[in-house]
Chains A and B, each alone.
Chain A
Amino acid sequence: SQTIHQWPATLVQPVGSPLSLECTVEGTSNPNLYWYRQAAGRGLQLLFYSVGIGQISSEVPQNLSASRPQDRQFILSSKKLLLSDSGFYLCAWSGLAGGPSREQFFGPGTRLTVL
């Protein structure tokens, strides 16, 4: 069966520091991968998605970037964090990149607090 991991689970960082959040998927190949952010009391906002290694699409302009160095690894980064980057970051995957829409499955999330 498929499993999705995210780490770290929680992170407290000062303003201006760098960021690296990692997401890995097990038990599937060539998945679509997604990064979402959830602000307190809000729904999820799609930040980035990837349909293959090295292929990244951004949904909203922001202080963050994403990379996919391996088929089942998705990384969210920032060079300098802002207070507004605080939130709950969720990684998700779905099957058959580029194919018919499939169900999305989510990781446990990373709670980021920028002070």
Chain B
Amino acid sequence: KQEVTQIPAALSVPEGENLVLNCSFTDSAIYNLQWFRQDPGKGLTSLLLIQSSQREQTSGRLNASLDKSSGRSTLYIAASQPGDSATYLCAAGHNFNKFYFGSGTKLNVKP
């Protein structure tokens, strides 16, 4: 069964810093990997989806990479802002688009 781990569990940084969130998964036979953002008490907002054949995806200040063979993905956030404060979740996708989630990294960006 797929196990997804996210490190660190929480992160606090001053505004403007570049930061990296880590995600690892045990079963490398994934179809894709998706990164989400969750604000307190809210649903999930999709940030980036990387297909298994891709190495990275970019959207604005966000860049996600995927190393399928080593079971790792990273989410890079450039020039962090207080509005980036949220919990970031990664999910490994398998057949039938079933996704298995990590427990998330709670990010706090201080003004």
Residues of A within 8 A of B (CB): 32, 34, 36, 41-46, 49, 51, 57, 59, 90, 92, 94, 98, 100-109, 111
Complex Cα distance A19/B103, Å?
Answer: 26
Residues in B whose Cβ lies below 8 Å from that of A94: 97
Residues of B within 8 A of A (CB): 4, 6, 31-32, 34, 36, 41-46, 49, 51, 89, 91, 93-94, 96-104
Q: List 26 A-B contacts (CB under 8 A).
A: A34-B98, A34-B99, A36-B101, A41-B103, A43-B101, A44-B89, A44-B91, A46-B98, A46-B99, A46-B101, A49-B98, A90-B43, A98-B96, A100-B31, A101-B32, A101-B51, A101-B93, A102-B49, A103-B46, A103-B49, A105-B46, A106-B43, A106-B45, A106-B46, A108-B43, A109-B42
Please give the distance in Å from A47's CB to the nearest CB on chain B. Answer: 11
Known contacts A101-B93, A104-B46, then 18 further A-B pairs from the complex at CB < 8 Å, ordered by chain A residue? A36-B101, A43-B103, A43-B104, A44-B89, A44-B99, A45-B101, A46-B99, A57-B96, A90-B44, A101-B51, A101-B97, A102-B97, A103-B49, A104-B34, A104-B99, A106-B36, A106-B44, A108-B42
